[in-house]
A and B are shown apart, each in its own frame.
Chain A
Amino acid sequence: MKIVGITACIAGIAHTYMAAANLKKFAKKENCEIKIETQGAMGIENELTQAEIDEADVVIFAVDTTVQNEDRFNEKKILEVGTSKVVKDGKATIQDAIKLAKGE
């Protein structure tokens, strides 16, 4: 299972990076490959390539604000959640994403 995602919070200081870390942590536990692009106070980092997006089984938007360059994700299966939910329960977010990818 390949997952890509975007994390972005309002201030772009803490939750963007906590959500990214938690998604990576729980994706690893579920044996998923994951790459997260952070859109925070330092701008876009770890930017996803179009090829990585195209290859992904599912996309996670863990965001409290608008996603930059959202048109890259046209026609992808997207799970959208707030950053706080991902910080609180990253495991549930990854499991929901897997379900979405499998069409369950």
Chain B
Amino acid sequence: MNDKIGEFISEKNIVLNLGALNQSDAIQKLATVLKKNGYIDDVLAFQNDVLEREKASTTGIGNELAIPHGKSTHVIQTTMMFARNEEGIEWNSLDGSKVKNIFLMAVSPEDKGNEHLKMLATLSGELMDDDFVEAIKKADSKENILKILQKRGNER
């Protein structure tokens, strides 16, 4: 099984200066990019599915990070987006921190045990690694963020 993160994402999956005003706005802005790149078929329906998941329990995992995710019938192909928001966004985070770094996971319910899910599982595990999180937070260009994601994926 292949879990190399870098093989599934490109600079198109990364947004710096997202400019979102709040959680809902952030997810909508990212969903708009996903639609444009052909990963989902309906921005508002997908946004709704992600916000529903968020209601069950926050995905603000602390340390200015959030990992909203939606298993949604509106996902054409499982993927992820990374976004940086300069202003911290209120996210009900586990440690109360406002969110500046977002990994949005879009998952098709059709996917079971495939390499895209494996990629998301690998990424989730990496988020518990303080060095990885610090590197992501410090990275200031799409190229650098992609490099960090690719490097980590390759090591596993």
Q: Interface of A with B (CB < 8 Å)?
A: 10-11, 13-18, 20-22, 25, 38, 40-43, 64, 82, 84, 87-88, 90
Contacts and interface: CB of A to CB of B under 8 A. Distances in A.
Contact of A14 (B94, B111, B124): B124
B56 A22 contact: no
A21 B125 contact: yes
Interface string B6-27: 0000000000000000000000
B105 A13 contact: yes
Contacts of A90: 128
B121 A40 contact: yes
Given A41-B117, A84-B57, A15 B112 contact: no
B69 A88 contact: no
Residue in B59, B107, B124, B129 whose Cβ sees the most chain A Cβ within 10 Å: B124
A100 to B, nearest CB: 22
